[in-house]
Amino acid sequence: MIHMLSAFDLKDGEDPKTFETAYSAFLSDLLAEAMIAQAGPVGRRVSDTPMDTDNDRTHQFFSVMSFEDRTQLEAAYVQIAQRLSGATQSHNHVFSKVTNAVFTCWQDGVDP
């Protein structure tokens, strides 16, 4: 399984609850089109603990999506990038609300 961590901030004036609703709709679209295997909810950073040691980034919101394999990951990217998916509209809606987005992907296990 391959996972993608999204770290981001909301643009000024964006309501976190409204964003959460839009993000949930986006995930529903992705799942309905089998573009992802699963996803977690949007989370808000808890930086006032010694367990949070990332001083390089100040992102306040996070989410994780998971893909069955590289094929599903790449196909999802192509569908969104080329606007071939029904999820394109909900993706654009969600993406229009965020700033400073950074995406990190990793796979389960240590083998390449």
State the CATH number of the domain containing residue 89: 3.30.70.100
What's the confidence (pLDDT) of residue 88? Answer: 79
The alpha carbon dihedral of 60, 107, 82, 26 has a sign of negative
**63 within a domain of the structure (yes/no):** yes
**112 within a domain of the structure (yes/no):** no
Report DSSP letters for the chain, one per residue.
-EEEEEEEEEPTT--HHHHHHHHHHHHHHHHHTTS-SEEPPPEE---SSTT----S----EEEEEEESSHHHHHHHHHHHHTT-STTHHHHHHHHTTEEEEEEEEEESSS--
**28 within a domain of the structure (yes/no):** yes
What's the confidence (pLDDT) of residue 11? Answer: 98
**32 within a domain of the structure (yes/no):** yes
For 93, the domain range is: 2-50+57-107
What's the confidence (pLDDT) of residue 81? Answer: 83
Q: What is the pLDDT along the chain (112 residues), one digit of tens a residue?
A: 999 999 999 999 999 999 999 999 999 999 999 999 999 999 999 999 999 999 999 999 999 999 999 999 999 999 888 876 677 788 889 999 999 999 999 999 988 7
**97 within a domain of the structure (yes/no):** yes
